[in-house]
Amino acid sequence: MADIKINLLPWRQRVREEQQRQFINVIAGLMILGVLCVVLLWQYYGNRISNQEARNRILTSEISVLDNKIDAIRAMQLKRKELLDRMKVIQELQGNRPVIVRLFDELARQLASRVFFEEVKMSKETLFIRGVAEDNNRISNQLRNFSTSEWFRLPNVTKIDADSRYGELASRFSLSVMRSSPKKNEEAE
């Protein structure tokens, strides 16, 4: 047999080129598939983000509506409290009406003879009285009258000055006395 020389180089070259072309096609396909996956994931997460942002906008608008309602409720509660406070003051004033009348009646009843009140002021529970008495004994009688009354307590003279315009022994005086309500005293017992 003679020397047969078969040259396999071109065939190997074609097989190698075919394999290389298949490899490049597979790489290109994988790259296209990868890009497609990235685009799909990008769209998927973009849609999720836009949906969440839409939900957030809805929640934000609802929260602002609720905040406005809460502010309105707070304003109503404040107005209600103010009205209740006003009603309470009015009720207290209405309830104190008979007490004030009774207090002035008791002032007139407890007024000692020859003692004249010129000014009577009331601050909370304290009455401040300025007046003129014929002499200092009349002022003492006035203090005793206040001490024995159910409507007054703790009489205290704050000032006595001689005033000869009303007589030789006449005196101008200032005193304070605490208001007391007989009903409050009965409730305390």
- pLDDT band at residue 96 under the 50/70/90 scheme: low
Q: Which amino acid is at 171?
A: S
**What are the Cα distances from residue 173, in Å, to 117, 124, 135?**
9, 21, 10
**What are the Cα distances from residue 5, in Å, to 2, 14, 16, 140?**
9, 19, 21, 158
Q: What is the pLDDT of residue 79?
A: 96
- Determine whether 189 is exposed, middle or buried from the number of CB atoms within 10 Å of its CB (0-12, 13-18, 19+): exposed
Please state, rounded to an integer, the average pLDDT across all residues of the chain.
Answer: 87
pTM greater than the 0.75 cutoff: no
Nearest alpha carbon to residue 146 among 170, 124, 115? 115
Q: 92 pLDDT exceeds 90?
A: no
- State the Cα–Cα distance between residues 109 and 103, nearest whole angstrom: 10
- State the Cα–Cα distance between residues 158 and 143, nearest whole angstrom: 12
Question: Comparing 103 with 119, which gets the higher pLDDT?
Answer: 119
114 and 133 Cβ atoms separated by less than 8 Å? yes
Domains of the chain: 112-188 (3.30.70.2830)
Q: 185 pLDDT exceeds 70?
A: no
Q: What is the pLDDT of residue 13?
A: 86
